Chain A
Amino acid sequence: DIQMTQSPSSLSASVGDRVTITCRASQTISTYLNWYQQKPGKAPKFLMSAASSLQSGVPSRFSGSGSGTDFTLTISSLQPEDSATYYCQQSYSTPRTFGQGTKVEIK
């Protein structure tokens, strides 16, 4: 199985801050990397596929980059509604695997 490791596990930032979450794969996965946002008590919401392709309706302050083993999710200007846990997920091979999550809190 491909192991996905996110860092940090949690962060606290102020409204308007630029926030970056890192995801690392245990082997190369090209750009087969997807991101989700999960708010408490809710199902995950699909944000982005193929490392950088934003899903329709997702605010443009979200962006993604990376290829191979190292990827990032960036929120360019953190908003109160962005408080959530973010998960990366590889779609290079089965079983599909997720990172452990990064909890983003607003200061």
Chain B
Amino acid sequence: QVQLQESGPGLVKPSETLSLICTVSGGSISSYYWTWIRQPPGKGLEWIGYMYYSGSTNYNPSLESRVTISIDTSKNQFSLKLSSVTAADTAIYYCTRDPSLFSGYFDFWGQGTLVTVSS
């Protein structure tokens, strides 16, 4: 059974860069589309983007100028960097798996990590 676990700072200062890592266990990170989704407290879900294990990416245009998703196949990890954060980026960040380019759904989720943007 595939398991995903997010890790990273829970507090980030405004204008700085949010950095999170997702560790995948119980399966290989090779193949699949590894995706980040976020949820502001008490609100709905927002797709941030994905990276395929081979390196191709697709980001939400609303965040594209600030987002980088990368993958480390040797560690079975993928990561999220979001630059120039503001209070609007405060959210629970989930790492997820999308089985294929033609599925577009998220079958495995991490437990989520709350990132607060505040000075």
A residues with a Cβ closer than 8 A to B are 1, 32, 34, 36, 42-46, 49, 55, 87, 89-92, 94-101
Contact = CB atoms under 8 A, between A and B. Distances in A.
Interface string B38-49: 000000111101
A99 B107 CA distance: 17
B58 interface: yes
Interface residues of B, number: 20
Contacts of B49: 95
Contacts of A99: 44
B105 A95 contact: no
Interface of B: 44-47, 49, 58, 60-62, 94, 103-112
Tell me the interface secondary structure of chain B in the complex: loop
B44 A101 contact: yes
Contact of A46 (B47, B106, B110): B106
A87 B45 CA distance: 9
List the 6 closest pairs (A to B, CB-CB), nearest first: A91-B104, A43-B109, A96-B47, A34-B105, A95-B60, A98-B45
Contacts of A92: 104
Contacts of B107: 46, 55
B104 A32 contact: yes
B47 A34 contact: no
Contacts of A43: 94, 109-112
A97 B104 contact: no
